[in-house]
A and B are shown apart, each in its own frame.
Chain A
Amino acid sequence: MKRKNNKKFNKRPQNPLNKLSLFQKSDSRFSKKCPLSGKDAPIIDYKNTKLLRRYISDTDKIMPSRITSVSQNKQRKLTSEIKKAKILGLI
């Protein structure tokens, strides 16, 4: 079966006036591609605290992937590495 309505999956309109409300966050804050996958992506490791710090909030919570746009596979890896770093008191 071919998908007929491919238009549905096209990019969302980029115009900021298209927002539903004022409090809705703009899409431009984070890029939509996953920043941790691809050719020269950084290594996710519990020793790499500089990288892990970017993916936790001010109150040390793990950021959801819907905000950071990390892929599902990498998000699972991120959480486990962040928890390891927290055990050692690095983050």
Chain B
Amino acid sequence: MNFYEHTLIAKQDISTSDLEKIEKKYKNIITETEGKLIKVEKWGLLNFARKIKAYNKGFYIHYKFEAENKTLNEIKKNSVIDNSLLRHLTVRYKKLDTETEYFKEKDSNEKKK
């Protein structure tokens, strides 16, 4: 078992209900294939540095989990076919730090206070 991070970029013109579906879909994939989900971060709508397939913005979803090779293949298979995704990236880590969040949404935090 190794630690992994996986980030998805979904298209901007997707409805919020579809976004939740995508988030749930990959959560299920991780848990069904005997992986341990540690954390899910929603980075929200971010601007790209340059255009990706004629899109300027995208929704970012970030997973941190512990799994084996089987789940990685399953995730890759699904995200390559998926039409609502623009890019995806998985990175292996020896140690995960779950504390520091580089993309905190400032607006949502202020509303809670």
Query: What are the nearest 8 A-B pairs in CB distance?
Result: A89-B48, A47-B102, A91-B49, A89-B49, A89-B52, A87-B89, A88-B89, A48-B102
13 contacts between A and B (CB under 8 A): A43-B100, A45-B102, A47-B103, A48-B102, A60-B49, A84-B89, A84-B91, A86-B49, A88-B60, A88-B87, A88-B89, A89-B9, A91-B49
Chief secondary structure at chain A's binding surface: loop
CA distance A45 to B99 in the complex (A): 14
Q: How far is the CB of A61 from chain B (nearest CB, A)?
A: 14
Q: How far is the CB of A79 from chain B (nearest CB, A)?
A: 15
Report chain A residues within 8 Å CB of B12. Answer: none
CB within 8 Å of B: which A38-91 residues = 43, 45-49, 60, 84, 86-91
Chain A residue, CB-CB nearest to B56: A89
Residue positions of B touching A, CB distance < 8 A: 7, 9, 46, 48-50, 52, 58, 60, 87, 89, 91, 100, 102-103
Is the pair A87, B102 in contact by a Cβ cutoff of 8 Å? no
Residue positions of A touching B, CB distance < 8 A: 43, 45-49, 60, 84, 86-91
Is the pair B91, A89 in contact by a Cβ cutoff of 8 Å? no
User: Which among B58, B89, B102, B103 has the greatest number of chain A C-beta atoms within 10 A?
Assistant: B102
Is the pair A90, B89 in contact by a Cβ cutoff of 8 Å? no
Is the pair A90, B49 in contact by a Cβ cutoff of 8 Å? yes
CA distance A59 to B52 in the complex (A): 18
Report chain A residues within 8 Å CB of B52. Answer: 89
User: Which among A45, A47, A60, A91 has the greatest number of chain B C-beta atoms within 10 A?
Assistant: A47
Chain A residue, CB-CB nearest to B47: A89
CA distance A49 to B48 in the complex (A): 12
Report chain A residues within 8 Å CB of B102. Answer: 45, 47-49
Is the pair A88, B50 in contact by a Cβ cutoff of 8 Å? no
Is the pair A46, B48 in contact by a Cβ cutoff of 8 Å? no
Report chain B residues within 8 Å CB of A43. Answer: 100
Is the pair A87, B103 in contact by a Cβ cutoff of 8 Å? no
